[in-house]
Structure 1
Amino acid sequence: MRDGALSELPWLTAADAARAIAARELSPVALVTALIERIARLDPKLNVFLRFDGAAALQAARQAESEAMAGRLRGPLHGVPVGIKDIIDVAGLPTTCHSKILDGSVAAADAVCVQKLRGAGAIVLGKLATHEFAIGGPSFDLPWPPARNPWNTDHHPGGSSSGSGSGIAAGLFPMALGSDTGGSVRNPASCCGIVGLKPTYGLVSRRGVFPLSFTLDHVGPMTRTVTDNALMLETLAGHDPHDPGSAAVPYGHYAAALDRPVHGLRVGFVQHFHMVDLPAEPEVTAALEHVARTLQLEGMEVREVKLPSLDEFRAINRVILQSEAWAIHEKWLQQRPGDYGQLARRQLMTGAFFTAGDYAHAARRRLEMIAEVEAVLREVDILLCASSMDPACRIDRPADLERTYPRQARTPFNVTGHPALAMMAGLSADGLPLSVQFAGHYFDEATVLQVARAWERASGVDGKHPPIL
């Protein structure tokens, strides 16, 4: 097998790696070995892994190579490495949720999403850093340090799927699993300049994933390119009768739709999110305008549309999320409050003070907001809006973190359950990623990915990597 230059292997896309392995032009062992060496060099600076399982990954790579040589490919991700957020079960490895509460808790079986990735041939490298229980923040009072942003390690990488975003951007692995309850796939995608998709609620099974909020949780693919995201989603999507939130709907053909013509697609630009509701940094506003102009040049029709305000979306998300999170954590918070980090404890405790009436009113208003978004989507094919209103701030400035973390437009699509994708829109003057978000019709991830691919192809953002690495 021709393994290529060692320095190029960490930047191979999942699709290119899978094709090369299938064609016997790339050894899975060489690929995994190159990543192991890179992880050993860079992870002490980035804190991406909570549990690196290099020996098992090498063993799986040898098996994948033997199968490829014999012409027996397991699936479209055969031999491709993947990282797993540490709220997602991997058999035989701890699922700690980055918390002392679950330190030493070992999973008996793979989560369904991990089963599907392994079934498609992917190789698990290990478990990745997260905000504590997917809700805390970049905390320094936990058993493990927080992940850092590879574009500038003094800055945070977004969360809560922080290790997933950082590791992909740093070239430690080409794809990872994240979860998204209020933006936790799309925030790291925005801060680290990668592609993160929150699928339609119910499209991807959550069985084997530690819950944060039963009616808001999603599992989503995180990658460096839109093509890889589509490829990964094709593996993950599908009905799971044992997940109460899973939807029995047709799915798939996401990659095949990427290069369909985009001419004539109607794009609804939600400008009030970043112009009125939460005024964005000027660089973010300029980047979003550039995306809109580029889509017009690609033949799409861009028009301004109006949704409910970000303040209201955020309020509804907060009541539902923190009420449901309290129900999950109530016993531990009463018996072991000191074992939580300060940030997670403070947010989880808030749920104790919402009443049944608060929750009922939020659930009712949620349905009304879904109807309002659906009415707008009847007039357009896709929505364009901000993701983060600022580039990532420094990780060691709590006041800046507290100020900028809520300045985002991701929670609307957790409240409504529509698919939403965040990706790079450019770079700031300080060399940090700026972001854009695309959202679409229920179970129409194909169009969301199609438009994202059109932007990626026109802008070349998929070719940008952190210069410090």
Structure 2
Amino acid sequence: MAVLRPARLFPDSGFPEPAGVERRRKIRSADLGHAAPGGVFSGLLAARPPAEPAPLSRRLSLSGAAAGPAADLACDAGRAGGQGPVLVGDDLAVVLPRRDLLRAGTDRRDRIERPGKTGGAGDQGRPLCRPRRDRADRRGPGGRRISGAMTELDWMPIADLAENIRAKRVSPVEAVQACLDRIERLNGGLRAFISVYPEQALAAARAAEAAVMAGGNTGPLHGVPLAVKDLFAVRGMVRTCGSRLIDEGPGEADAESVAALHAAGGIVVGLANLHEFAFGPTGINPHFGTARNPWDRSKVCGGSSSGSGCAVAAGLVPGAMGTDTGGSVRIPAALCGLVGLKPTHLRVSQQGIYPLVGEFDTGGPMTRSVDDTALMMAALDPDGGFGAHRALPSLKAIRIGVLQALFEDGIDPDIAGQCRAAIAVLEALGAEIEAPALPFADDAVTAWTAITLGRVYALHGARAEAADSKLAPNVRERVLTGRDITAGDIEKALSVRQAVQAQVSELMQRYDALVLPMTPIPAVDASDGQGSLDGVPVDGARALGRLARLASFTGQPAVTVPCGLTSGGLPAGLQLIGERNGDERLLGIAACYEAASGWDGRRPPMAAPEDRRAD
């Protein structure tokens, strides 16, 4: 199969090129959503021990906001008769062949049988996918019901899909083909993927099927289709980093994290869209088009791992990998109603991932549940204890610190209300709730800004300074804000990081988790990146990442879980921050909340079972 040049999949993005870019001569941390008091490094190195917390009941209202209905969506994309997807570019049209997986006269949703594929003695000719009536009430790990209706295959949790594959109730080929079919139908309107590799994915699926039939050992993700952000190296796939400036051939080797997913049986079907070079929280990309939010296609998914969030939320894949330097996994997860984990810094290997800021870059998964996030982490960190993940039965004796100040300034009332209601759930589950002071928060964000701007300018400054720069205007403008950051500035900011890490370590001796909203506003408009707060226009590029940077700066694990919908039908996320290398315990707390939250089973209208007829 010819290599598909991803740059040609979506040549007409519909985003005009702005005429010019204003150059900024001085660093202003407000450029990245934070106003620094008293100068860039005023008081940053002063050691300030955490203050004694005040009782939450005196300082925080727990009244929640009512959730409104989700916006109604309609997605339509063309199909090419009985053929596979047609990817059309400036001068390229490739028709991808559809695999004939079925026997004549057999409904593919009910039964798949292939001659010569047997499960060994006593299982000659056994169909890999039994008739629906045989699978009406299967149970997976933990007693969860496994849906027998194959119209639910696109939405089946990773844990259930992997269990069905191991039990030979679902073929890996069927799972991957269903994923490819859905991408074919919806990706044109969503722009979740920059490139898709059907032949490579189906070849891996056939190998996974053979392993199941041979009775071999299977990993936790065996046969499960996945997406990875177009920042990861994947053998045989062409990485673009969301830019026109990268001209790589097909990857010769997997990034170590991708190799871990493959070793666990996962099947990467394609490379997901992103903010160019992963440097932006909106995901707006004039080169390949902006990934659209499945809850409302006029809105962004958030960035920079926009396509990963879009693909999982829309049911194109059950799980995806992103990267997080200042919220780039957690922001799209929150805006798309997903679970997104930024693991402890360096818990996931960064080898083979295009860098942005080495001090903060972290690969992490996005899924539709905490259980599925733990399964992906079990693949990424096999010795980390994630395979034994269980939700805590209750939160008794769990102490949670609510970062109250971050609920008060510049937070959308709906999001604040949903997060307060979530805190009430945590308290009802037995958690002890307090409101600790966080005197180092401003210093942390200011220093994060200095390090990030300085490192990114060193990496991309020449591209931004070029008179004929091919960087997206929104990225070029951000890169140029770092031109006056000196090596001395970065050294001072790194000293601040050490001081803040010491203070946070002391704080986490008292608390099992810190809690705050994930984003201050819901998803912003995809056309211009603008949102609103109390009727006042807000620049999404400056606002969306503001609450994500503390955990990035300190290297702590942080997870976002859905906590409700705004009155406009857009998801809100609750962020929980744990102690360094306490990722497993953090997921246990998140899973306990998730089970009591009432979110399970919610999905955007386009991901409902009826979407096969609707779109």
Give your verdict on TM over 0.5: yes
**2:397 maps to which residue?**
264
CA–CA separation in structure 2 for the residues paired with 1:59 and 1:254: 27
Report Cα offsets for 1:346-404 as digits up to 9, x if no partner.
Answer: 11222221112221221111222212222211111111111101111111134439623
**1:300 maps to which residue?**
431
Shift of 1:285: 1.2
Higher share of residues assigned helix: 1
TM-score by length of 2: 0.71
For the residue of structure 2 that corresponds to 1:328, the secondary structure is helix
CA–CA separation in structure 1 for the residues paired with 2:332 and 2:388: 23
**2:555 maps to which residue?**
417
For the residue of structure 2 that corresponds to 1:340, the secondary structure is coil
Does the CA contact (< 8 Å) of 2:241 and 2:274 recur in 1? Answer: yes
Does the CA contact (< 8 Å) of 1:110 and 1:208 recur in 2? Answer: yes
**Given the alignment of the two structures, is residue 370 of structure 1 paired with residue 501 of structure 2, yes or no?**
yes
1:55-454 equivalences under 5 Å are 55-136=199-280, 137-142=282-287, 144-237=288-381, 251-253=384-386, 255-275=388-408, 278-308=409-439, 310-334=441-465, 338-400=469-531, 403-407=539-543, 408-454=546-592
CA–CA separation in structure 2 for the residues paired with 1:89 and 1:460: 37
Which shows bigger deviation, 133-142 or 188-197?
133-142
Please list every run of 5 or more consecutive structure 1 residues that lacks an aligned counterpart in the other structure: 239-249
Shift of 1:15: 0.7
CA–CA separation in structure 1 for the residues paired with 2:468 and 2:224: 40
Does the CA contact (< 8 Å) of 2:403 and 2:516 recur in 1? Answer: yes
Does the CA contact (< 8 Å) of 1:47 and 1:145 recur in 2? Answer: yes
Does the CA contact (< 8 Å) of 1:139 and 1:145 recur in 2? Answer: yes
Report Cα offsets for 1:388-441 as digits up to 9, x if no partner.
Answer: 011111111344396234333110011000000012110111111011000101
CA–CA separation in structure 2 for the residues paired with 1:267 and 1:337: 51
Report Cα offsets for 1:188-243 as digits up to 9, x if no partner.
Answer: 011001010000011110000000001110011111110010111111127xxxxx
CA–CA separation in structure 1 for the residues paired with 2:593 and 2:259: 32
CA–CA separation in structure 1 for the residues paired with 2:182 and 2:522: 26
Task: Point out 4+ residue stretches in structure 1 off by more than 6 angstroms.
Answer: none
**2:28 maps to which residue?**
none
Does the CA contact (< 8 Å) of 1:326 and 1:349 recur in 2? Answer: yes
Shift of 1:157: 0.2
Does the CA contact (< 8 Å) of 2:284 and 2:529 recur in 1? Answer: no
CA–CA separation in structure 1 for the residues paired with 2:395 and 2:453: 40
Does the CA contact (< 8 Å) of 2:153 and 2:175 recur in 1? Answer: yes
Does the CA contact (< 8 Å) of 1:83 and 1:125 recur in 2? Answer: yes
Shift of 1:448: 0.9
2:572 is matched by which residue type in structure 1?
L
Does the CA contact (< 8 Å) of 1:139 and 1:341 recur in 2? Answer: no
CA–CA separation in structure 1 for the residues paired with 2:373 and 2:499: 31
**2:129 maps to which residue?**
2
1:406 is matched by which residue type in structure 2?
R
Among 138, 161, 173, the alignment partner of 1:17 is 161
For the residue of structure 2 that corresponds to 1:313, the secondary structure is helix
State the identity as a percent.
36
Q: CA RMSD in A?
A: 1.8
For the residue of structure 2 that corresponds to 1:453, the secondary structure is helix
Does the CA contact (< 8 Å) of 2:228 and 2:308 recur in 1? Answer: yes
Distance 1:34 1:147, change over 3 A: same
Among 589, 597, 615, the alignment partner of 1:459 is 597
Report Cα offsets for 1:37-76 as digits up to 9, x if no partner.
Answer: 1111111110001011112111211111111111113311
**1:243 maps to which residue?**
none
Distance 1:138 1:229, change over 3 A: closer
**2:171 maps to which residue?**
27
CA–CA separation in structure 1 for the residues paired with 2:167 and 2:438: 48
Distance 1:140 1:416, change over 3 A: closer
TM-score by length of 1: 0.93
